[in-house]
Amino acid sequence: MEPLFGAVLGLILAVASTAHESCTCATNKWAVCAQDSPGNCTCRLVGSDHPVDCSTLTSKCFLMKAEMLPLKEKRLWRPPHGLSDSDGIYNPDCEDSGDFKARQCNQSSTCWCVDTAGVRRTEKGDSSLSCSELVRTRWIYIELTHKRSSSAFAAPDMAKALTQLFESRYKLHPKYIAAIKYDPPLIQIRLDQKKKPRWDVDIADAAYYFEKDVNNESVFHSNSKLTVSVNGDALAIEKLWIYYVDEKPPEFCMRQLAAGISAVVTVVVLTAGIGIAVLLILRWLHSRKYKKFESKEMREIKATSLE
């Protein structure tokens, strides 16, 4: 009887272990999941406690908020100069939908306006700064290079491989991939999304997941390294740049531009002033030399006439 009981207990533990392992969020390693009931797994995001839909990508705003937690922990172990202040790393304020709030502020009451990708589009100001709307990021340009040791690929094969990557791994509909151009070793990808239905993945979220994958900081639960195959050959991505284009131009004030123009004008004026001064000095030296020569010549003439 005891062997039978042991076998049953082992089976129950095995089933429970399998259920626990299956209760994970495949698209977000920062989600904390719990088995509420048989077949019902609920996942919430660390840092905001928002429920996570693991069948699609998590919004960039929620990801950045979750990402701030390990950064705060690392500050206890790193020297102060080991962290750099960057607009790309901050603890964002998010709407319940996962969208960025139009105005973002840090702990020192410094505020700025962002677009739907969370990218700053105004100068930083104080808490009185007003952001009337959340401007949509319509275009995203992605530039990347592969290692030169990799052989050049056929452009159609490259476009097909990257389109499949964004569609299968990042759930992005191919209609939002406007163009893929390949000029070895440079690859250019343009994502275009003027309007987005609620059920479609946002191009900003897809670009953020892709950036994390390329930097070996995958958000996916498997945390596996990104592998891209072009017609059976591995694509070794080397560098990545991402540019955001909003529906409306950024609202940076002209102070920086004015300062730059003022500096250029100052340099030009100083250069011109120095040039004029040099010319005047040379002219004065030449005139002085001529007068000396003329005076000497007159003395010689007078001496000759006296003789």
- pLDDT tens digits, one per residue of 179-213: 999 998 999 999 999 888 889 999 999 999 999 99
User: Residues near 137 by Cβ (< 8 Å), separated by ≥ 6?
Assistant: 115, 116, 117, 119, 203, 204, 244, 245, 246, 247
Q: Is the pLDDT of residue 170 over 70?
A: yes
135 domain residue, yes or no: yes
194 domain residue, yes or no: yes
Amino acid at 133: E
249 domain residue, yes or no: yes
Q: pLDDT-based confidence at 112, cuts 50/70/90?
A: very high
265 domain residue, yes or no: no
**pLDDT tens by residue, 48-79:** 778 899 999 999 999 988 888 765 544 433 33
Q: Is the pLDDT of residue 34 over 70?
A: yes
10 domain residue, yes or no: no
The average pLDDT across 86-95 equals: 77
218 domain residue, yes or no: yes
Q: Residue 163: its pLDDT value, please?
A: 96
Strand partners, 143: 188, 241
161 domain residue, yes or no: yes
Distance CA 182, CA 158 (A): 7
Q: For 175-181, which contacts have Cβ atoms below 8 Å and span 24 or more sequence positions?
A: 176/200, 176/203, 178/139, 181/155
Amino acid at 42: T
Q: Is the pLDDT of residue 263 over 80?
A: no
Average per-residue pLDDT for the chain? 78
Segments forming the whole domain that contains residue 159: 31-72+89-253
**pLDDT tens by residue, 213-232:** 999 999 998 867 788 889 88
Q: Give the chain's domain count.
A: 1
Distance CA 33, CA 112 (A): 34
Distance CA 185, CA 207 (A): 20
Question: How are beta strands 40-45 and 237-246 bridged, if at all?
Answer: unpaired
**pLDDT tens by residue, 36-54:** 877 788 898 887 778 899 9
- DSSP of 137-184, one letter per residue? EEEEEEEEEE-TTSPP--HHHHHHHHHHHHHHTS---GGGEEEEEEET
Buried (b) or exposed (e) across 160-170, using 16+ Cβ within 10 A?
ebbeebbbebb
* Omega of the bond leading into 185 within 30 degrees of 0 (cis): yes
Question: What are the C-alpha distances in Å from 163 to residues 27, 146, 168, 190?
Answer: 19, 17, 9, 11
Q: Residue 120: its pLDDT value, please?
A: 92
208 domain residue, yes or no: yes
